[in-house]
Amino acid sequence: MDVTLDPGPRTKKVRDSKSPFEISHHFNAGGGSGAEFIHSIFSNGKFEKILAEEFEKAG
């Protein structure tokens, strides 16, 4: 489902879900390649590191 949310409603949706992980993605209209992974200050970053490794493997 394609949904656009402002930061406030997006944060509320994530907090209300009580999910241990959330993924939000977008495509940069300006072009370019690659990916970036950002984690909460409350996270140790392990999940994001796994994602980055898997993206690298997939090319």
Q: Which of the residue ranges 2-6, 28-32, 50-54 has the most confident prediction, judged by mean pLDDT?
A: 50-54
Q: Using the predicted structure, report yes or no on whether residue 53 has a pLDDT greater than 90.
A: yes
Written as six digits, the tokens of 47 are 């999940």
Write the CB contacts of 51 (distance below 8 Å, at least 6 apart in sequence). 37
d(CA 50, CA 41): 17
Place of tokens 């997006």: 10
Q: Comparing C-alpha atoms, which of 55, 57, 58 is closest to residue 35?
A: 55
% of the chain surpassing 90 pLDDT: 8
Q: Comparing C-alpha atoms, which of 15, 11, 13, 19 is closest to residue 1?
A: 13
State residue 23's pLDDT score: 79
State residue 57's pLDDT score: 93
Q: What is the mean pLDDT of residues 8-23?
A: 85
Question: pLDDT tens digits, residue range 23-41?
Answer: 777 777 777 777 888 888 8
